[in-house]
């Protein structure tokens, strides 16, 4: 019956102990030994503090918001129900595809513009699906919201893959024209140019990524909508066959329509590996394993993104060794471990830079896309290692699942506010977050408050160049992030740091779900 004294003593500790006395632990500790109740309360307070530090971020809240973000990126006719909570958005792109006499309505705008680039959209979809597969229980009530986000993309991707035989549509909207305008997606008056690849204009990279997205999504829907799952898998097989049979980069076929925006800088072999890996997981068809072995994609890598899929494919294939205990997948496990050794900061083989604040830093433009994607691999591989009770070494450094999880947590916490700027780089999370993101729909008044169109260039002066905060909060959007000095200026014109993108959020959902369940 010591509840009352303990509460009293703990209250004394909480209200009376100064910072200097906490830091002077030996002196305080000796005093506490003379008073048993104070001794008990001291350690209880330390335990509470420890737990508070461990759970300083609300991962469940961040997870919900990271998924909600996709509603702000929707193209097409928006639902009127609760599945469209960002009410400042409305229908757009309802004539997409008409230039080619096909229906390409739907999908997502990639970032802060009004263009649909299928290459990063398909990658986003693959990552959302992978996150759902590996974290279905941890996602809890958010699992259905992830499925909705995935299906908004896959419905569109199926149209792109099946509208015209022998053709894969890979984008809508001329980026060079679109980027000269600052207008809401609802007001687009630019030509909605349609882009495609075919046997004469190949695009193995975008086609294989589309196949990966559809195959991964087929697994997500397998138990909840078997007919849709079969359609996804059937389409994935067809698109992958096209990618493998007619080799070539879509960058070469489409030129300035995709470059420099989403050039396939890494070539298409990584996408063929990635697509085959996902089809292998979805079908267990040995022909995809034979295809993988014939590719010879053995280059080392220390990056993972919408462009370079080698690391992701190796982690996915390593699952065969760690989870399924199939020794023939051992080489992929070794390649995955090599990648981890290039990422871990204390590894003798590390090739990854970290800021003084602890952020993984890969490239100056939109760095958080790489952080999010690599962090997804950290938590996914840690899960596979836990399944096998496995460890490995980077030189003399022992790597356990906890090693990878701790680094992943550090990166996620940094994004959510544990950084030198004390700023959350997720819009709407916490109290201090980017207010001037590079995003047309967010920065311009909604049609509800301003029904009249601003025109192509009408939004620049009053809304793009202003220092005023964006009128519409794109909840859950993760921006490009700070520079290598941990500094973020929060300027709308600084698109390399202030622009959000679907592929950042598509990758961060997995780590947030993983940490939410711990």
- DSSP characters for 67-128? HHGGGGGB-BPPPSSTT---TT---B-TTTTGGGTS-----B--SSSS-EEHHHHHHHHHHH
Tell me which of 3-7, 136-140, 223-227, 276-280 is least confident. 3-7
Residue 487 in any domain: the answer is yes
Residue 2 in any domain: the answer is no
Residue 36 in any domain: the answer is no
The CA distance from 186 to 451, in Å, is: 10
Band (517; pLDDT cuts 50, 70, 90): confident
| pLDDT at 25 > cutoff 70 | no
Band (166; pLDDT cuts 50, 70, 90): very high
Task: State the pTM of this model.
Answer: 0.90
| pLDDT at 390 > cutoff 60 | yes
The mean pLDDT value of the chain amounts to 91
pLDDT at 37: 44
The CA distance from 429 to 233, in Å, is: 36
Band (518; pLDDT cuts 50, 70, 90): low
pLDDT digits (tens, 9 = 90+) for 419-434: 999 999 999 999 999 9
Residue 8 in any domain: the answer is no
Residue 42 in any domain: the answer is no
pLDDT digits (tens, 9 = 90+) for 203-231: 999 999 999 999 999 999 999 999 999 99
The CA distance from 264 to 202, in Å, is: 13
- The share of the chain scoring above pLDDT 70, in percent, equals 89
**β partners of residue 353:** 361
Q: Name the DSSP class of 470.
A: P
Residue 16 in any domain: the answer is no
Total residue length of the chain? 518
Which candidate in 27, 179, 298, 438 is catalytic? 438
- Its domain, for residue 405, covers 59-517
Residue 147 in any domain: the answer is yes
| pLDDT at 317 > cutoff 70 | yes
439 labelled catalytic: no
Q: Which has the higher per-residue pLDDT, 50 or 181? A: 181
Average pLDDT of span 170-175: 98
pLDDT at 81: 74
The enclosing domain of 237 has a CATH number of 1.50.10.10
| pLDDT at 263 > cutoff 50 | yes
pLDDT digits (tens, 9 = 90+) for 56-114: 899 999 999 999 999 999 999 999 877 789 999 999 999 999 999 999 999 999 999 99
pLDDT at 360: 98
The CA distance from 37 to 111, in Å, is: 57
| pLDDT at 33 > cutoff 50 | no
Number of domains in the chain: 1
Average pLDDT of span 187-197: 96
- The share of the chain scoring above pLDDT 90, in percent, equals 87
| pLDDT at 20 > cutoff 50 | no
pLDDT at 40: 38
Helix/strand/coil for 30:
helix
Band (19; pLDDT cuts 50, 70, 90): very low
Average pLDDT of span 232-245: 98
Average pLDDT of span 168-186: 97
Residue 310 in any domain: the answer is yes
The CA distance from 202 to 418, in Å, is: 45
Cβ proximity of 273 and 246 under 8 Å: no
pLDDT at 83: 78
């Amino acid at each position: 019956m010591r509840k009352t004294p303990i509460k009293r003593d703990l209250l004394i500790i909480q209200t009376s102990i100064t910072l200097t006395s906490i830091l002077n632990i030996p002196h305080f500790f000796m005093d506490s030994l003379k008073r048993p109740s104070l001794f008990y309360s001291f350690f209880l307070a330390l335990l509470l503090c420890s737990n508070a530090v461990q759970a300083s971020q609300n991962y469940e809240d961040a997870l919900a918001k990271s998924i909600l973000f996709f509603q702000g990126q929707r193209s097409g006719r928006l639902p009127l129900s609760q599945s469209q909570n960002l009410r400042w958005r409305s229908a757009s792109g309802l004539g997409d595809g008409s230039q080619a006499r096909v229906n390409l309505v739907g999908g997502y705008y990639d970032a802060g513009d009004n263009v649909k680039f299928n290459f990063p959209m398909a990658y986003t979809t693959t990552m959302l699906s992978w996150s759902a597969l590996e974290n279905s229980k941890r996602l809890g009530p958010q699992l259905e919201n992830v499925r909705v986000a995935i299906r908004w993309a896959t419905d569109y991707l199926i149209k792109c893959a099946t509208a015209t035989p022998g053709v894969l549509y890979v984008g809508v909207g001329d980026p060079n024209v679109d980027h000269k305008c600052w207008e809401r997606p609802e007001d687009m008056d630019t030509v909605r140019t349609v882009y495609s690849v075919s046997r004469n204009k190949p695009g193995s990279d975008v086609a294989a990524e589309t196949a990966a997205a559809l195959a991964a999504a087929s697994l997500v829907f397998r138990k909840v909508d078997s007919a849709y799952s079969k359609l996804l898998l059937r389409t994935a097989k067809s698109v992958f066959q096209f990618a493998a049979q007619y080799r070539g980069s879509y960058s070469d076929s489409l030129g300035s329509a995709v470059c420099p925006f989403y050039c396939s800088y890494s070539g298409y072999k990584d996408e063929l590996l990635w697509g085959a890996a996902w089809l292998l997981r979805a079908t267990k068809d040995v022909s995809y394993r034979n295809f993988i072995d014939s590719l010879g994609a053995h280059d080392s890598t220390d990056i993972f993104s919408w462009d370079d899929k080698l690391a992701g494919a190796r982690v996915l294939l390593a699952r065969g060794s760690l989870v399924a205990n199939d020794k023939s997948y051992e080489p992929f496990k070794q390649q995955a471990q090599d990648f981890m050794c290039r990422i871990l900061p204390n590894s003798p083989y590390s090739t990854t830079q970290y800021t003084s604040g602890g952020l993984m830093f890969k490239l100056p433009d939109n760095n958080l896309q790489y952080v999010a994607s690599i962090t997804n691999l950290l938590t996914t591989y840690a899960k596979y290692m836990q399944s096998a009770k496995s460890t490995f070494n980077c030189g003399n450094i022992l790597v356990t699942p906890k090693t990878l999880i701790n680094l992943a947590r550090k990166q996620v916490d940094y994004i959510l506010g544990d950084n030198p700027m004390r700023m959350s780089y997720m819009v709407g999370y916490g109290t201090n977050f980017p207010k001037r993101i590079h995003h047309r729909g967010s920065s311009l008044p909604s049609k509800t408050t301003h029904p009249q169109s601003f025109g192509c260039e009408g939004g620049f002066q009053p809304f793009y160049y202003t220092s005023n905060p964006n009128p519409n909060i794109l909840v859950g959007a993760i921006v490009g992030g700070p520079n290598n000095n941990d500094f973020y200026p929060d300027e709308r014109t600084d698109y390399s740091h202030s622009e959000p993108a679907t592929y950042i959020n598509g990758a961060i959902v997995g780590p947030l779900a993983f940490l939410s369940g711990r």
